[in-house]
Amino acid sequence: MKTIAIIDCAIDELAIACYNRLLQLEFPVSYHSAPDFGTSTFEDLNNFFGAFIFGSNSNIRDKEPWHNDLAKWALSALKNDF
């Protein structure tokens, strides 16, 4: 089943409340933690209708490995009219 990917970039306090609210509204959503798993849980764009990418206190200048992975994924999604 296709879902809307909820991509949480939180490094301290997860955005579970936002995800839970979307579940309550009966949106077909799936939760993905970019800092913990990079893009490994949401690589295949065919599994999703779209995505919400939540913010973070992490700064792109920190150059965490998942920053580049997520940026490449987002650019690919945009190029494919995701």
pLDDT tens series, the chain, 82 aa: 899 999 999 888 888 888 899 999 998 999 999 999 999 999 998 999 999 999 888 777 788 889 999 999 999 999 987 7
- Predicted TM-score (pTM) of the model is 0.86
Nearest C-alpha neighbor of 27 from the set 2, 9, 53: 2
The rounded distance, in Å, linking the Cα atoms of 55 and 81 is 22
Query: Is 77 strand, coil or helix?
Result: helix
In 1-82, where do the E strands start and end?
Answer: 3-8, 29-33, 48-53
